[in-house]
Structure 1
Amino acid sequence: MLIQRGALRDLWSRTGDTARPPTVPRSADREFWDGLDGPARTTLLAEADRSRDEEWPGLRLSDWSAFARTGDRAAYERSLFLRDRRTRLAVLAAAIDPTESRLLEAADGLWLTCEQGAWCWPAHDDVFARGLRVPDGQHPFVDLGAGEEAALVAWSVLLIGDGLERVAPGLCERLTAQVRERVLEPFLARAWHWEGTEDRVHNWAPWIHGNLLVAAMAFAEPDLRERVLARCVDGLDRYLAQLPADGAIDEGFGYWWQGAGRAFDALALLDPLTGGAIVASIRGGALRGVGELARFPQRMRLGPGWFASFADAEARADDGTPWHVLFRAAELCAQPETATFALAERGERPLCGLDDGVHAGLGRMLAELSDVRSGALSGAGRQPGAVAVREDVLLPSIGVGIRERSGVTVVVKSGHNDENHNHNDLGSFSVAVDGIPLLPDLGRATYRAETFSDRRYELWNMRSDWHSAPWPRGRVQLPGRRWRADAEAVDDGWRLDLTSAYPGGERWIRTVRLTGNGLIVRDEGDAIADPTTRIVVVCAGVPRRTGGGVLVPGRHGSRGLLLTFDDADAEFETVDVDDPYLHRSWGARVTRMLFAPASGTMWEMRGEAR
């Protein structure tokens, strides 16, 4: 485990002071806001002004209830996220330039939040299970959305509360009541599924707990604040104690920012309340295991902006990825190499939180602005190419191995099929050439009702037959912890035992090795030459047959990959990609190659970068 259960909780009980105010650059701190660098100031004011003459995005009941009717969650979330973006930019603009008109713009956004039917996102609310198609204001559901709204309101009042009282007396009191009634009191009133158990949690816990910390600091009277903070600290402790000692995140790179990264946000928020005891413990005490967590994103790197994808993670870092979160985590853990990596990937990207997603709310934007203000994010040699490719990786806790030779990077996946955001991907491999994935794990598509239901594995990108994995005797993998594959490191690669990965329990051994300029995949087992067996290899784009095999074309300037193989029939199935998440990483089409070995109990495929 990453830390011992109780390590953070006990440290908090000894050193935590709930009476200390959070460290926030309030608008009255003119030295901070007037000293903000020109580009950041100009960008924030311009983005805030861009929408001031437009109507505020509305939230429609039909969009809310669409999740129950059609499974769609995107329309409601799109409107909500756009409105939250406008609100947080209005708040920052009012902090920079606290004129009456800017403060009124921020007040409008916060008032609309007060009037919102529910702060919970519809995909998570329990009203549909109770036969309702409208939010139930008497029984608020505390989820990611409720936490995000509570934090947005809290940071806003901490930043510009005095100004809001000047232009809209009573608004801060209304916001205080809303946060208590919708979030803090319901949070304490029951046990929530996302808080997990003593043997399983996922990324919701640190995300929500971190947001509730600032909400309690901003709005709760002493007794309520103390109880909320104690429960949130215990939840963070439970989350960190269940992570493996190697710092791996089974949800993948993309979820690091909304799980582990959120935990780091929370630790940074709590540290001043402990007089620096949390940072001291991370750097040389009971919390020192947290340092492995900060190394995970760099370990997943394939090339600038590209990362190993598995589960629901995406391979291509989103433009809104808040790289300063990793930078701050590295600073917290005293890891200069990781900090340099984060700054290199950040490069010349704009400030976080300018998009309409949930990568970065107002709290993360403030943290980045503080680092911009201090100059911590500036410096030479910050280009992505300046960071060396990470060393070979084997993370036993999640069964992920990564190796690179001569510009060819291979990722293998073992473990079990009951991971958070699981895909049935045991024994699969993916390949990047010159840092660009050519044989990918496709990752997630747009989330719908089916994504987190008993129909999850009807979705094609979740199934084992759309991963570069065996398809023995026409049997696909099934979800559940009983289905597993064990990985063992061997010279220049791994040996994967897939005997327990499929129904039937037949022996199947896959060996993946890197060569001087490519790789070799060897499969051994009695089902190899069965007429219903296929060996699946997924590629981005459309491969073409050549006299010597199959050529997978290069992408984004990379070399291609020539596949040669033992005697086998090969069929290609190409799918047009219209999902925005899949399209962003893989382009307009993806193909699965289905190899049917002609005979024998062993079959081998070779890949060479060309």
Structure 2
Amino acid sequence: MLAQKYGTPKLGEMLLPRENFRPYPTIEDRPEWDGLPLHLRTYWMNKGIAKLNHAWNPLPATAYMDYSRTGNRERYDKASWERRRTLASLVIAECMENEGRFLDDIVNGIWCICEETFWGIPGHGYMMKRQDSLPDMEDPVIELFSAETAALLAWTHYLMKSKLDSVSKMVCERIRQEVKRRILDPYLTRFDLWWMGFNQERMLNNWNPWCNSNCLAAFLLLEDDPERREAAAMKAMRSLDHYLERLRSDGGCEEGPKYWLYAGGMLFDGLELLYSVSARQIHVYDEPLIQQIGRYIYRAFIDDAYYVNFADSTAKVQIPAELAYRYGRRIGDDKLAGLGAMVLRKKREETTDLEFPAMSRLLPALFHYSEAERYVGETPYVRDAWLDGIQVMVARERQGTSKGLFVAAKGGHNDESHNHNDIGHFIVYCNGSPMIIDPGMLTYTSQSFFEERYSIWAMQSAYHNVPIVNGIQQRNGSSYRAADVDCKFDDRSAALSLDIGGAYPDLAEIRSWLRTISLIRGSSPCIEIKDEFLLQHRTDEITLHLLSPHLPRSEGDGSFVVEDECRNRISIQFNSAMFAGSVETIPLEDAIMQEVWGERLYRIHLKIRTPLDRGECMIRISEV
């Protein structure tokens, strides 16, 4: 898509030289900075003022060693990321005001970051050849946050070079030296970094566009040598092609909507850099796959900040509103652009934090803010969507509104990127409010990846809305997958049917387990979960699970009612002659889960009463 089309002998001629590459206004471009909306200027000035005379937090060796000693990622990661957020806030405040009062703090921040041994985080130290509890400064691996740091320093250099030079010529020189040593040189010379995709020993995921887009920004903003800039652009296109080749034609993000911000979103960031530095000659926005990647995020949209959060994603996702707006405008999709504009206006009305996660997102957000705020576009509330590649169905009662019932369900396999063992899993919302849920992710630790991942409860099928049979949960691995998958839509219903028996090991003794998840529209709308199963032997060790953030209340045999604080209510009906219902409380101690769900979740157990080797059962969910 990229390298073959644009990797011609004329690529070097397409790229603007560094001195002519002006993607955003620098601090000297006063009309653009002074013309930003007053509330944005006030907000960012206040953020900068709060960081004046900042005491740059230490990053001791023992904090880095926490990861190898205890598995804790937070102490070092948070301190590292706070340095970078502080620097970005100071830089933007100085660009807003242009009076020099933030300069010393900016220089301190640059110097502080440049003196760090490693710009990455301990959890990514596995990439180094010599494994140790501390990083090897002679092995400049490029991972997510070292690439992010290089881009931040490159944008700082681009925006403020003249002002930094007025303090000392050594500041920008140090930026160029450190970024060259840590990122630019290894980016050109190394082909063994797994995320590049040149050696397919690992599955590509969000790392590819995330690292490539930031490395590309550093090259385009700092590198003077036209041959090296051309080589970097060519390598980025080749590497991005490897990522695009592994995506399905539906553009679905199997890592979940939170990771779309760093997968599809970062892909867009990289494509925008290529589009801009080539004076719009490198243009792939008419490619169907690029368009589908953007559309995924509104197909996963439920209401407010809620998204279909399969895999390692929280149910609430703060998407970069302006990025969604610009992506939509680039591909000519008014629903995607409309989602971005809607989210931006909601943030503005609620006066929530307008901070964006990185300088590569913040600058376009600032300079396209007014344009996006005025845009209306189309409603992003799609009635139905079937992402056949990642096997995810979403359906709501009516197009254009969150009112009524919403269901999402998935097939796929249990070796997806950021996988949870959840084949046949589904979620239910009512009037945009979560009723039957996916619990989401926990704060990452050393257990979150590699061989210990499935010892964590939130990754296990027992804490998703799927059966446990003979005490056996689903197993992780690509061979554990859905079969006979079929999705159908019409005005009356939406239905996903699939055999989930293959997601379980032989010990479960399942011959087949056909599950059908349906949304029935019309005068009496409801959601039906129908299971037809065939086992090798009779057993009474069959339990169906349903997770909810609200305490289910029993209303007689065969019925639970779930109600939220806004009095949205659903009724869950089941065959009480076949199943005994009970409710378990799951206390939540993790900060990420507490932020979304509060102090606890509830798990409905529907346990079969008598031994069976075959059967059919139905759960019916309706609004009451």
- What range is the shorter-chain TM-score in? over 0.9
SS of residue matched to 1:569: strand
Q: What is the match of residue 588 of structure 1?
A: 599
Deviation larger for 390-399 or 93-102: 93-102
Shift of residue 62 of structure 1? 1.5
Shift of 1:548: 4.8
Larger mean CA deviation between 597-606 and 166-175 belongs to 597-606
Contact 2:344 2:373 in 1 (8 A): no
CA contact (8 A) 1:120 1:144 kept: yes
TM-aligned CA deviation for residue 18 of structure 1? 5.2
**Post-superposition CA distance 1:90-112 (Å, at most 9, x none):** 11112222223222221111111
1:336 aligns with one of 334, 339, 345: 334
Question: 1:369 and 2:366 equivalent?
Answer: yes
2:495 alignment partner AA: G
Aligned twin of 2:208: 205
| Residue of structure 2 in register with 1:511 after alignment | 516
Judge conservation of contact 1:5–1:241 (CA < 8 Å) in 2: no
Pair 1:234 & 2:238 matched:
yes
* SS of aligned partner of 2:336: helix
Distance 2:392 2:451 in 1: 26
In the TM superposition, 1:243-258 aligns within 5 A as 243-258=247-262
Separation of aligned partners in 1, 2:280 and 2:621? 52
Answer whether contact 1:107 1:168 (CA < 8 A) is retained.
no
Residue pair 1:9, 1:237 contacting (<8 A) in 2 also = no
3-state SS, counterpart of residue 28 of structure 1: coil
Could you state the TM-score of these two structures normalised by the residue count of structure 1?
0.92
The residue type paired with residue 472 of structure 1 is V
User: Distance in 1 between the 2:487 and 2:58 partners?
Assistant: 54
- What residue number does 1:57 align with? 57
* CA distance in 1: counterparts of 2:193 and 2:526, whole angstroms: 48
Is residue 2:393 matched to residue 1:401? yes
Q: Which residue of 1 aligns with 2:532?
A: 524
Greater CA deviation, 187-196 or 296-305? 187-196
* Aligned twin of 2:436: 439
Quick one: distance in 2 between partners of 1:304 and 1:121?
Answer: 32
Q: Which amino acid aligns with 1:590?
A: L
**Match of 2:338, as an amino acid?**
T
Q: Distance in 1 between matches of 2:357 and 2:352?
A: 6
Evaluate the alpha carbon distance shift between residue 58 and residue 550 of structure 1 in structure 2; reply closer, same or farther with a 3 A threshold: farther
CA-to-aligned-CA distance 1:93-135 (integer Å, 9 cap, x gap): 1222222322222111111111112101111013888352322
| Cα distance in 2 for residues equivalent to 1:59 and 1:345 | 36
Using a 3 Å threshold, how does the CA distance of structure 1 residues 478 and 7 change in structure 2: closer, same or farther? farther
Identity among equivalent positions (%) equals: 26
Alignment of 1:486-505 (within 5 A): 486=483, 487-490=485-488, 492-504=494-506, 505=510
Measure the CA separation in 2 of the matches of 1:104 and 1:532.
Answer: 67
Unpaired runs of 5+ in structure 1? Answer: none
User: How large is the RMSD of aligned CA atoms in angstroms?
Assistant: 2.4
AA partner of residue 549 (structure 2): A
Report the Cα distance in structure 1 between the residues aligned to 2:167 and 2:3, rounded to whole angstroms: 47
Q: TM-score scaled to structure 2, two decimals? A: 0.90
Q: Structure 2 counterpart of 1:378, which letter?
A: E
The CA deviation at 1:42 is 1.1
Tell me the distance in 1 between the aligned counterparts of 2:366 and 2:10. 28
Residue 274 (structure 1) shift? 2.3
Number of the residue aligned with 2:14: 16
Residues 280-304 of structure 1: CA distance to partner in whole angstroms, max 9, x if unpaired? x423xxx343111111111011112
2:207 is aligned with 1:215: no
Instruction: Evaluate the alpha carbon distance shift between residue 595 and residue 493 of structure 1 in structure 2; reply closer, same or farther with a 3 A threshold.
Output: same
Cα distance in 1 between the residues matched to 2:328 and 2:8: 24
Distance 1:113 1:128, change over 3 A: same
Q: Work out whether 1:260 is the aligned partner of 2:259.
A: no
Contact 1:529 1:597 in 2 (8 A): no
Task: Give secondary structure in 2 for the equivalent of 1:24.
Answer: coil
**Shift of residue 585, structure 1, vs aligned partner:** 2.0
Kindly provide the amino acid, as one letter, of the partner of residue 223 in structure 2. Answer: A
- Give the CA deviation at 1:346: 2.2
1:572 to 583, 595, 609: 583
The aligned amino acid for 1:576 is P
Partner of 1:379: 374
Residue from 509, 534, 547 that aligns with 1:538: 547
The equivalent residue for 2:274 is 270
Q: Supply the AA of the counterpart residue of 2:516.
A: T
C-alpha contact (below 8 Å) 2:528/2:618 kept by paired residues:
yes
Question: Could you tell me which residue of structure 2 aligns to residue 557 of structure 1?
Answer: 566
SS state of the match for residue 372, structure 2? coil
Is the CA contact 2:436–2:547 (under 8 Å) kept in the aligned structure 1?
A: yes
Is contact 2:71-2:446 (8 Å) kept?
yes
1:256 & 1:127 partners in 2: Cα distance?
24
Q: Kindly indicate whether the alpha-carbon contact (under 8 Å) linking 1:507 and 1:526 is maintained by their aligned counterparts in 2.
A: yes
Q: Per-residue deviation at 1:178?
A: 0.2
Distance (whole Å) between structure 2 residues aligned to residue 5 and residue 456 of structure 1: 36
Aligned 8 A contact 1:5 1:238 in 2: no
* 1:67-466 correspondence to structure 2 within 5 Å: 67-126=67-126, 130-190=130-190, 191-196=192-197, 200-222=203-225, 223-279=227-283, 281-283=284-286, 287-318=287-318, 321-349=319-347, 360-372=357-369, 375-379=370-374, 387=379, 389-405=381-397, 407-466=404-463
Q: Secondary structure in 2 aligned to 1:123? A: helix
Contact 1:127 1:136 in 2 (8 A): no
Q: Which stretch has the larger CA shift, 429-438 or 566-575?
A: 566-575
How far residue 549 of structure 1 moved from its aligned partner, in angstroms, is 3.5
Supply the AA of the counterpart residue of 2:196. Answer: E
The answer as to whether partners of 1:73 and 1:447 remain within 8 angstroms in 2 is: yes
Q: Partner of 2:563: helix, strand, or coil?
A: coil
Letter in 2 for 1:531: D
Measured in 2, the distance between the counterparts of 1:8 and 1:440 equals 45
The count of aligned residue pairs is: 594
Q: Secondary structure at the match of 2:26?
A: coil
Letter in 2 for 1:152: L
Partner-residue secondary structure (3-state), 2:101: helix
The answer as to whether partners of 1:427 and 1:470 remain within 8 angstroms in 2 is no
User: Within 1, Cα distance between the matches of 2:511 and 2:498?
Assistant: 14
Change (3 A) 1:153 1:27: same
Secondary structure in 1 matching 2:572: strand
Structure 2 Cα separation of the partners of residues 552 and 303 of structure 1: 22
The whole-number CA distance in structure 2 between the counterparts of 1:10 and 1:571 is 65
Q: What is the Cα deviation at residue 391 of structure 1?
A: 2.4
Greater mean deviation of Cα atoms: 194-203 or 51-60: 194-203
C-alpha displacement of 1:380: 6.8
Partner SS for 2:250: coil
**Amino acid aligned to 1:339:** A
- Closer, same or farther: CA 123–353 of 1 in aligned 2, 3 Å: farther
| Cα distance between partner residues in 2 of 1:145 and 1:204 | 10
Cα distance in 2 for partners of 1:397, 1:404 equals 21
Q: Distance in 1 between matches of 2:9 and 2:439?
A: 42
**Larger RCO of the pair (alpha carbons < 8 Å, separation 6+):** 1
CA distance in 1, matches of 2:64, 2:353: 24
1:27 alignment partner in structure 2: 27
Structure-1 separation of matches of 2:3 and 2:166: 47
Give, in whole Å, the separation in 2 of the partners of 1:559 and 1:396: 31
Cα distance in 2, alignment partners of residues 194 and 5 from structure 1: 17
Report the Cα offset of residue 24 of structure 1. Answer: 2.5
Query: Does the CA contact (< 8 Å) of 2:16 and 2:279 recur in 1?
Result: no
Deviation per CA, 1:419-459, whole angstroms, max 9, x where unpaired?
Answer: 11000000111111111121111111101110012010010
Distance 1:499 1:155 in 2: 51
Amino acid at match of 1:196: G
Determine helix, strand or coil for the equivalent of 1:561: strand
Whether the 8 Å contact between 2:125 and 2:131 is mirrored in structure 1 is: no
One-letter amino acid of the counterpart of residue 215, structure 2: L
Matched, 1:605 2:619: yes
After superposition, give the CA deviation of every residue in 1:480-531 in whole Å (9 maximum; x if it has no partner).
Answer: 1101113212453121111311112521111122233321111111249721
